[in-house]
């Protein structure tokens, strides 16, 4: 059977390919240290699991959920944003429940743009942003993220034609894959650009809880005027280790939220109510688990800094997220380096070119194994003598 042209135009699923390569190596009996994954390695906190267990025993949870989510979960989201960021959210008009943030990221271009319209995407950036481009049959322009600009897009580098054509802009801080954190000044600049050129903004805040050295990553919605032009996506995957639960949400501009709710009315009958209840518990109960988890990532980040310095790998440690963006040795491409590490050191990393043209020259490493394994990975890499 022949698939539609739309399906044929979808980009290769970068992470599926990466997982397959690692799985094949493991199946051969090799002890692979997987630094390429983006999947939290720690379990969901016990109190959230217990809330889910209790909820699944409640027969009322077994019925269809309200199409646009439960009142409990939407009110919990509003409470969370007020408590954490002092941002007022109307749970009735400014919240869309998502089947994981990824679903909304793919849906939003279909909600906001017509075929042939243009959006702006960061490069490097989360590869699945391109899935929305393909499904909406739109055009896109990239905004390079470079070290000399702290991995923030330089809006002054956009041409007048690009600014005039753009209808939607994606940004993501703390950033995947670079680990950069945005400043309030950058967010203010983003709002000004969007208002001047009538561009809708989506801020991907998946790693919002992960800022280091005492620096708390700001929410885009803390910026004056942000709700007039944009939305912010949040996921429980990283903050609460709920990646497999597939639960996230969008908050902000009520027109964009209405569009997301509308498309989901036609795709889903909302998320399992028990998961929404557990999500509400996660957002509104003690956040000690979040504090403890950040300390664990801080320790792993320090281990990475120590271990890379020991083998002569000159890196910049991340300011946020649980990823580090590391330069490859001179004379090698990102993919060549990643292939050598897996083949000869049994260490998996994500090649930077998988995140875009400007990802070439880097690999992404996750802080998703313990400190001992981080040190062991670097010791294995040292035997290859690539950083002489």
pLDDT at 10 over 90: no
Phi, psi of 168 (to 5 degrees): -150, 140
Q: pLDDT at position 74, please? A: 98
Q: What is the pLDDT of residue 387?
A: 87
Q: Please, which pLDDT band fits residue 37 given cuts at 50, 70 and 90?
A: confident
How far out from the chain centre does Cα 285 lie? 24
| Percent above pLDDT 70 for the chain | 100
Asked if residue 97 lies in contact with residue 271, where contact means CB atoms within 8 angstroms, the answer is yes
Dihedral class, residue 151 (left if φ above 0, else alpha if ψ from -120 to 50, else beta):
left
Domain residues of the chain, as ranges?
Answer: 5-44+288-382, 46-284
| pLDDT tens-place string over residues 246-256 | 999 999 999 99
DSSP secondary structure, 46-76, as one string: HHHHHHHHHHHT-GGGGSPPPTT--HHHHHH
- Residue 353: per-residue pLDDT: 94
Q: What is the pLDDT of residue 209?
A: 97
Confidence of residue 321 (pLDDT cuts 50, 70, 90): very high
| Topology of the domain covering 5-44+288-382 | 3.90.1150
What value does the mean pLDDT take over residues 357-363? 97
**Residue 383, pLDDT score:** 96
Q: Examine the pLDDT at 14 and tell me if it is beyond 80.
A: no
Other beta carbons less than 10 A from residue 267's beta carbon:
10
SS3 380: helix
CA distance 363 to 13: 17
Into which CATH architecture does domain 46-284 fall?
3-Layer(aba) Sandwich (3.40)
pLDDT value for 182: 98
- Using the predicted structure, report yes or no on whether residue 66 has a pLDDT greater than 90: no
Whole-number mean pLDDT of the chain?
95
- Least confident among 16-20, 83-87, 239-243, 291-295: 16-20
Residue 339 has pLDDT above 80, yes or no: yes
* pLDDT surpassing 90 at residue 64: no
Kindly report the pTM of this predicted structure.
Answer: 0.95
Q: What is the mean pLDDT of residues 22-26?
A: 90
Contact in structure between 203 and 231 (CB atoms under 8 Å): yes
* Look-up of token digits 């885009």: 220
């Amino acid at each position: 059977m022949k698939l539609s042209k739309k399906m044929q135009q979808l980009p290769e699923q970068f992470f599926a390919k990466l997982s397959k390569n690692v799985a094949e190596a493991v199946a051969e009996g090799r002890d692979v240290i997987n630094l390429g994954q983006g999947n939290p390695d720690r379990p969901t906190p016990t109190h959230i699991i217990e809330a889910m267990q209790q909820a699944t025993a409640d027969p009322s949870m077994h019925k269809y959920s309200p199409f646009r989510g439960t009142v409990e979960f939407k009110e919990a989201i509003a409470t969370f944003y007020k408590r954490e960021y002092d941002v007022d959210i109307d749970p009735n008009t400014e919240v869309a429940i998502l089947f994981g943030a990824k679903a909304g990221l793919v849906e939003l271009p279909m909600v906001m743009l017509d075929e042939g319209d243009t959006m702006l995407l960061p490069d490097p950036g989360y590869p699945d942003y391109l899935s929305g481009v393909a499904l909406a049959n739109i055009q896109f322009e990239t905004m390079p993220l470079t070290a000399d600009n702290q991995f923030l897009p330089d809006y002054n580098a956009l041409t007048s034609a690009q600014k005039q054509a753009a209808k939607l802009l994606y940004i993501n801080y703390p950033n995947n894959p670079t680990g950069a954190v945005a400043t309030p000044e950058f967010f203010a600049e983003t709002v000004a650009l969007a208002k001047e050129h009538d561009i809708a903004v989506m801020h991907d805040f998946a790693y919002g809880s992960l800022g280091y050295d005492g620096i708390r990553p700001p929410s885009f919605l803390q910026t004056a005027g942000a709700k007039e032009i944009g939305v912010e996506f949040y996921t429980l995957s990283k903050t609460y280790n709920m990646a497999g639960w597939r639960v996230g949400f969008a908050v902000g501009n009520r027109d964009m939220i209405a569009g997301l709710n509308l498309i989901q009315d036609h795709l889903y009958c909302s998320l399992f109510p028990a998961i929404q209840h557990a999500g509400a518990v996660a957002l509104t109960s003690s956040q000690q688990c979040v504090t403890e988890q950040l300390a664990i990532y801080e320790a792993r980040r320090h281990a990475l800094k120590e271990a890379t310095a020991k083998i002569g790998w000159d890196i910049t440690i991340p300011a946020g997220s649980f990823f580090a963006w590391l330069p490859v040795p001179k004379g090698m491409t990102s993919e060549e380096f990643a292939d050598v590490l897996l083949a000869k050191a049994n260490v998996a990393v994500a090649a930077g070119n998988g995140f875009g043209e400007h990802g070439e020259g880097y690999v992404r490493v996750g802080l998703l194994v313990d400190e001992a394994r981080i040190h062991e990975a670097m010791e294995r890499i040292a035997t290859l003598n690539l950083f002489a």
